[in-house]
Amino acid sequence: MIILHIDMDAYFASVEQQADPSLRGRPIVVSGRPDIHSVVAAASREAKRYGIRAGMTTWEAHKLCPHITFVPGDPDKYETITRRFLDVLIDYTPMVEVYSIDEVFMDVTQEVDRHGGPLTLARKIQQRLRAELGAWITCSIGIAPNKLLAKLAVEEAKPTGVHWTRPQDVAQVLARTPVEAVCGIGPRISRRLAHMGIWTLADLGRCSEGYLRARFGVMGAVLALWGRGLDPNALIPYWKEHELKSVGHSHAVPAVLRHPEGARSVLLYLCERTGRRLRAKELAGRVVHLDLRDAHMRHRGGQRALEVPTDDEEIIFRTALALADRQGGFPEATTMVGVRVSAVIPRGEVPRPLLAVQRRRERLEATMDCIRDRYGEGALWRGSVYACRVLTQATGGMGRQKEIALARQAADAAHPGSSVPA
Amino acid sequence: MLHPVDDPVEMEVLFPARAPYPKPLRLRWQGRPFPVESIHLIHERWEGSTRLLLYSVTAGGSLLRLRYDGTKVRWFLDGIQWEDDGP
């Protein structure tokens, strides 16, 4: 089997550099709005030379490189480019798995001979992506017999290169790869493995499955496979639908909303979005989960099963609110709110509401969905979640800014002079 | 930084075979023609049911963002970055 792992280099940053020539060759980071505390979503190659990495706070990035340029993220740009590079890849094979917005696996076992071998095919793909997307949007490609090894190979290929791990090279790769380099082995597991004297994948491969199972449970079997350079996860092509298990949203609460009333508004806003997504996917869920985090990073929350599955944001909100009350209400400074609806089934399997008030709300939600489909998400806001507009502003994306502008226009049209400046 | 403009412009475009988007060649803004020197990036944005095409281009020595609104069937100058502006 021949698997390619295609990883776009410094993706968001290189898309921004492609869009704006004045950013090229300069250290830039894509982040939230520069005037609020946020994290680095992507750092350009030039910024990486200063030690700046994704996940750092913007404050840390500025300290490492005082002349860094902060660029607000534009999700629309990245989504379009991802769609366009997927279109190119699908030209080569339908066996394409979308792993994340900037990472893709391809099974090219059947195609390599037609293209003159895996290395030639990988270079062809790189050239074509460069020609179609722009010279600044580059990718690295790892080639290996499975997804695990392809993902490790791409690290050797970065930046902009191609690295092929042939079956005869696997033993060497396992001997030099530390366990924490594998996606799925986090700091906790790697610490436990280190205590057991296991540092590399080859060390892991020398342990028996039974021994690892005894210490890590089900995960032990997976670790045993990884230690032998095997991957239990097959490639899932994009056309094979994933079974959706739950729908939900969570959001860090900005400082201005870190009080119980603010957290309540954020919860309602997230329930609205969850309900809307359930309705868009024609699903209804039976179990509502709530997650709250306080200023000391302590989580509280819970879950409750409903009698009838629902896609009604009002029911989701009331259930989540009851869960919060059971935990003693919202923390004084809630820093994160999350809501999720699980045990989802197709909407058609749920009986229609009997009460007139529920039917009226169903019609109202359908009408609100129609308005948002036609005019955008920001076209309609509940008065009680109006303060949550700051959540869309916090991401800093131009698309989001447009959404806010639309909301402001709508508010101004209804009540001139009433909209709050961003 | 792009300064928002939002002015309608007249546009001369090419529809290349098998290309996903039309290619702007020349625009006329405030009565003056500007040849499009290079197209850096094209991306899409949905506003409700309206699909917008956004072009980051260099024309007349400045970075421009052009917008094609498929519903209004019109081109707009979305934003402009003057040469000495910097990012």
pLDDT tens digits for range A302-342: 999 999 999 999 999 999 999 999 988 998 888 899 999 99
pLDDT in tens, A245-257: 899 998 888 888 8
Number of H helices, E strands in chain B: 0, 6
Contact B20 A84 (CB under 8 A): yes
CB contact under 8 A, B81 and A20: yes
Cα→Cα distances A119→A124, A169, A295, B44, Å: 9, 16, 51, 33
The model's confidence at residue A43, banded by pLDDT at 50, 70 and 90, is very high
From A183, A230, A184, select the one nearest A205 (Cα to Cα). A230
| A74/A83 Cα distance (integer angstroms) | 15
Reported as a pLDDT band with limits 50, 70 and 90, residue A416 is very low
CA distance A383 to A380: 10
Q: Report the 10 Å Cβ neighbour count for A380.
A: 16
Average confidence score pLDDT of chain A: 87
Q: What is the pLDDT of residue A235?
A: 92
pLDDT of residue A353: 83
Which residues between 16 and 35 in chain B have a beta carbon less than 8 angstroms from any beta carbon of chain A? 20
The 10 Å CB-count burial string (b at 16+, else e) for A318-333 is ebbbebbeeeeebbeb
Lowest mean pLDDT across A12-26, A126-140, A163-177, A238-252 = A238-252
- Position A419 pLDDT exceeds 80: no
**pLDDT average, residue stretch A262-272:** 93
Distance CA A18, CA A133 (A): 9
Whether B85 sits inside 8 A of A77 (CB atoms) is no
Cβ separation of A87 and B20 shorter than 8 Å?
yes
Active-site residue A103, yes or no? yes
Q: In the structure, how many helices (H) and strands (E) does chain A have?
A: 16, 12
Question: Looking at the predicted structure, is the pLDDT value of residue A258 above 50?
Answer: yes
B 68-87 residues inside an 8 A Cβ radius of A = 81, 85-87
Residue A226 to residue A179: CA distance in whole angstroms: 9
| Token code pair at residue B78 | 């979305």
Q: By the CB < 8 Å criterion, does B51 face chain A? A: no
In this prediction, residue A240 has a pLDDT band, given cuts at 50, 70 and 90, of confident
Could you give the CA distance from residue B66 to residue B79 in angstroms, rounded to a whole number?
7
- List domains and CATH numbers for chain A: 1-165 (3.30.70.270), 171-227 (1.10.150.20), 246-414 (3.30.1490.100)
SS3 content of chain A, % helix, strand, coil (to 5): 50, 20, 30
Q: What is the pLDDT of residue B1?
A: 73
pLDDT of residue A128: 95
Task: Count CB pairs under 8 A between chains A and B.
Answer: 59
pLDDT at A401: 39
Residue A22, helix vs strand vs coil:
helix
